[in-house]
Amino acid sequence: MHLEDGTKPAAYKKYIAKKIGIIGGMFIFLIFFALFAVSVGAVNIPIPDVIKTLIGGSGTGLYERIIWNIRIPQILTAIIAGIGLAIAGVSMQSILRNPLASPYTLGLSNAAALGAAVGISLFGFGTTGSNITDAVIMENPYLVTICAFVFSMLTSGIILIIAKIKSATPEVMVLAGVAINSLAAAGLMAIQYFVDDTKLASIVFWQFGDVARAGWSELIIIGAVVLICSVYFIWKRWDFNAIDAGDETAKSLGVNVSRVRLVGMIAASLISAVIVSFLGVIGFVGLVCPHMMRRLIGDDQRFLIIGTAICGALLLLISDTIARTLIAPHVLPVAVITAFLGAPVFLYLIVRGH
């Protein structure tokens, strides 16, 4: 072949630089917003004190405790869960070739909620009462979390087994997910109908996604899963680009399409299941962040995966900060805000077109 006479065109370099610029800009904004988020809340801490405390300087004892025990875990959870949900969403949309695919629409979230409901009502990992700061106190939060995780992974297991029998076509996976979503919703409804008031309250309360639920140990588990799975998706970015160009084209470019689909779905499900089990249902981030970034920087997975991750972190962090400050000292569950904040932005992007 004689294709040595080309040079990397300047116009293309500029085009790539623009994408990197957008992602870099969002990242810097995320850092600054995170600092701001640490400083605001029920107690407002001046930003210089925040920075002093973070770099190990002499902050006051009260500030130190608030920052390290409350604010930082919550803010990191918002960032990491945002990254996780967004990456799960963007990869599911590629794998399933469907713009509606997300942890929520495929039934993973509802299945986790059903699992939690089963744990609370049938196994009695239930509630003992309530206090002023929390509406409901869970007696055994870890067992509820495990129930939610098991149900969520079972759901993706069923989707994957059906897909495997039908040789992993995207349509089959999406349809199976939608069917299971309805099944989980129906199961949840049935349980809610029969349980007593306190259990009903804790089932409903569990479903309100809330990043304040995670402490350092939960954060480490979520972080590890998100990190490992994200590395996989970034490593396989070219395979996902090839799959976007059609299954046959991808195969002709040497991609093992069924395997990438299968492993990708397992990774995306794992991320979603872990996040939902620890934090409750947080919809919309996984669905909308990929679409926002597709409109901003295009479908190229080399940039889309990282861009979407930062977009997810921003959406969840901003939502959480609003949730904490809107009616302070009371806090709203973040899941309420994500949709209120994300939907108008998303609709604007759709209406504005390309």
Residue 162 near other proteins by CB under 8 A: no
Q: Are 289 and 179 in contact (CB under 8 A)?
A: no
Which lies closer to other proteins via its Cβ, residue 68 or residue 232? 232
Residues 87-106 within binding reach of other proteins (CB under 8 A): 97
Max Cα separation, the chain? 76
Which lies closer to other proteins via its Cβ, residue 259 or residue 330? 259
- Whether the CA torsion 349, 350, 351, 354 is positive or negative: it is positive
Q: Which two tokens stand for residue 25?
A: 């800009």
Determine which helix (DSSP H) or strand (DSSP E) holds 138, and give its type and residue range.
strand 137-138
What are the two backbone dihedrals, phi and then psi, of residue 208, each rounded to the nearest 5 degrees? -70, 105
Residue 347 near other proteins by CB under 8 A: no
Residue 56 near other proteins by CB under 8 A: no
Tell me how far, at minimum, the Cβ of 43 lies from other proteins, in Å.
45
Q: Which stretch binds other proteins (CB under 8 A): 2-10, 70-78, 191-199, 265-273?
A: 2-10
Residue 167 near other proteins by CB under 8 A: no
Total of residues contacting other proteins (CB under 8 A): 31
Q: Which of 196, 254, 327, 352: binder of other proteins (CB under 8 A)? A: 254
For 239-275, b/e burial (b = at least 16 CB within 10 A) is: bbbbbbeebeebeeeebebeebbbbbbbbbbbbbbbb
Q: Which of 57, 124, 246, 344: binder of other proteins (CB under 8 A)? A: 246
Residues 295-314 within binding reach of other proteins (CB under 8 A): 298-300
Q: Which of 207, 241, 272, 308: binder of other proteins (CB under 8 A)? A: 241
- DSSP-assigned letters across all residues of 179-201: HHHHHHHHHHHHHHHHS-HHHHH
Which lies closer to other proteins via its Cβ, residue 11 or residue 31? 11
Q: Which two tokens stand for residue 317?
A: 């962090």
Q: Which stretch binds other proteins (CB under 8 A): 68-76, 108-116, 237-245, 323-331?
A: 237-245
Q: Which stretch binds other proteins (CB under 8 A): 107-115, 139-147, 207-215, 293-301?
A: 293-301
Distances (CA, A) of 74 to 66, 184, 197, 284, 353: 11, 29, 29, 19, 35
Q: What are the residues binding other proteins (CB under 8 A)?
A: 1-9, 11-12, 15, 97, 238, 241-242, 244-246, 248-249, 251-256, 294, 298-300
